[in-house]
């Protein structure tokens, strides 16, 4: 029986990945770690967890990734072969006002994972990076070959730090590791701090929504099922261990983008969202959408466009995200009605 450790298992990506593994693979055990913090509505995390706990071969541990003893005890007891580190303090804007939580979770927490992978060897460490590492890069689409030395938020800086830390541990201790730069993940039971979720809450409450950069932002929205499929394929194929001419390990290290490669204008996105909210019966058919939107300047830490070059992912794993924005937002709207309005 192969054991997977998924950190941030009650999170949006973590819970969907755990469900996919348990559905696709027999004879596996998933150990899930999450601190269940209240950065956003804990009820959504509890709902995701409840679904997982109905399944066999799923073990949940409530704990903090930044607590080294907690992480060590998991590695000692369960000896995971594959580790997927998805626990992190997320959110660009929150990092401007709450930097401590980013250093604790994203730097110290990730260091604890790396140390345990060093002392309790694993087949593969997969970890979440972010499209935010591209910062203010002007060249699009973003390629993993691009320089990413100009983060525009602390969140982005912590994610770039994770990539550097993983590279050094791969080199020093021959740990196969793969970083995944996710592009604007959305879908049912997603994070309420994401724009599509916040817009829905505000429109339902009759409040105005603020559309940043006067609606000229573009985002590479990526549906959650595409993300979990991508992570699932990547984690099964670790970078190969090999030595260089000097006899020392060539770092078994890789980085991939996972995005839709089809950036959508924010105004188009908001129009599709409101159409799907009306279709689902969340908003009335005669909803006056124009009076509920406000075009405003760019926010600190934001970037005008995200756009993924996913060619390496396609070549090496035969996979490209392909869920259309309308299909994804339709599923979100249906879930929202069921979860909040039943």
Residue 279 exposure: Cα atoms within 13 Å on the Cβ side: 15
Q: What is the dihedral of CA 101, 106, 108, 111, to 10 degrees?
A: 170
Q: Where is pLDDT greater, at 342 or 185?
A: 185
Answer whether residue 111 is part of any domain: yes
Average of per-residue pLDDT values in the chain: 94
Distances (CA, A) of 102 to 60, 67, 132, 150: 23, 14, 14, 18
pLDDT recorded at residue 162 = 98
List pLDDT tens digits, range 117-158. Answer: 999 999 999 999 999 999 888 898 999 999 999 898 999 999
Q: What is the dihedral of CA 36, 39, 44, 46, to 10 degrees?
A: 10
| 253, pLDDT greater than 70 | yes
pLDDT recorded at residue 300 = 75
The structure's pTM equals 0.94
28 vs 56: CA distance, rounded Å: 10
pLDDT recorded at residue 301 = 67
pLDDT recorded at residue 252 = 98
Whether 155 is a known active-site residue: answer yes
- Cβ atoms < 10 Å from Cβ of 83: 27
pLDDT recorded at residue 16 = 98
CATH number of the domain to which 115 belongs: 3.40.50.720
Q: How confident is the model at residue 275 (pLDDT cuts 50, 70, 90)?
A: very high
Answer whether residue 192 is part of any domain: no
Task: Say which DSSP state 208 is in.
Answer: P
Q: How confident is the model at residue 92 (pLDDT cuts 50, 70, 90)?
A: confident
Answer whether residue 294 is part of any domain: no
List pLDDT tens digits, range 293-339. Answer: 988 887 776 777 889 999 999 999 999 998 999 999 999 999 999 99
Answer whether residue 46 is part of any domain: yes
Which of 4, 142, 155, 169 is catalytic? The answer is: 155
Answer whether residue 330 is part of any domain: no
List pLDDT tens digits, range 5-27. Answer: 999 999 999 999 999 999 999 89
Answer whether residue 286 is part of any domain: no
| 190, pLDDT greater than 70 | yes
Q: Where is pLDDT greater, at 322 or 72?
A: 72
Answer whether residue 299 is part of any domain: no
Answer whether residue 338 is part of any domain: no
Give the number of domains in the chain: 1
| 210, pLDDT greater than 80 | yes
Q: How confident is the model at residue 87 (pLDDT cuts 50, 70, 90)?
A: very high
- 60 by Cβ neighbours in 10 Å (0-12 / 13-18 / 19+) ranks as middle
Residue 76's domain comprises 2-186+222-261+307-322
List pLDDT tens digits, range 216-242. Answer: 888 999 999 999 999 999 999 999 999
335 vs 341: CA distance, rounded Å: 10
Q: Report the SS3 class of residue 142.
A: strand
pLDDT recorded at residue 213 = 82
| 214, pLDDT greater than 90 | no
Q: How confident is the model at residue 212 (pLDDT cuts 50, 70, 90)?
A: confident
List pLDDT tens digits, range 98-116. Answer: 899 999 999 999 999 999 9
């Amino acid at each position: 029986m192969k054991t997977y450790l998924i950190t941030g298992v009650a999170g949006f990506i973590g819970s969907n990945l755990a469900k996919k593994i348990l559905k696709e693979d027999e004879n596996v055990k998933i150990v899930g770690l999450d601190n269940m913090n209240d950065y956003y509505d804990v009820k959504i995390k509890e709902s995701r967890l409840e679904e997982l706990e109905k399944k066999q071969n799923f073990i949940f541990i409530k704990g903090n990734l930044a607590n080294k003893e907690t992480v060590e005890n998991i590695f000692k007891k369960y000896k995971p072969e594959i580790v997927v580190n998805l626990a992190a303090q997320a959110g660009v804007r929150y990092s401007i006002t709450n930097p401590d939580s980013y250093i604790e979770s994203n730097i110290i927490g990730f260091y604890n994972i790396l140390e345990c992978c060093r002392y309790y060897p694993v087949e593969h460490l997969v970890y979440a990076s972010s499209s935010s590492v591209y910062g203010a890069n002007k060249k699009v689409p973003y390629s993993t070959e691009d320089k990413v030395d100009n983060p525009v938020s602390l969140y982005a800086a912590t994610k770039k730090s994770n990539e550097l830390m993983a590279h050094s541990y791969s080199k020093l201790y021959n740990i196969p590791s793969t970083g995944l730069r996710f592009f604007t993940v959305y879908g049912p039971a997603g994070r309420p701090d994401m724009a599509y979720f916040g817009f829905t809450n505000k429109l339902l409450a009759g409040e105005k929504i603020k559309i940043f950069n006067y609606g000229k932002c573009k985002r590479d929205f990526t549906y959650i099922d595409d993300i979990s499929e991508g992570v699932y394929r990547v984690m099964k194929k670790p970078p190969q261990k090999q030595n260089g001419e000097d006899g020392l390990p060539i770092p078994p290290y890789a980085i991939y983008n996972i995005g839709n490669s089809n950036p959508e204008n924010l105004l188009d996105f908001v129009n599709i969202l409101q159409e799907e909210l009306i279709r689902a019966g969340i908003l009335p058919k005669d909803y006056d959408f124009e009076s509920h939107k406000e075009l405003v300047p760019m926010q600190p830490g934001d970037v005008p466009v995200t756009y993924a070059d996913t060619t390496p992912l396609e070549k090496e794993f035969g996979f490209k995200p392909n869920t259309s924005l309308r299909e994804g937002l339709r599923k979100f709207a249906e879930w929202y009605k069921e979860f909040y309005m039943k």
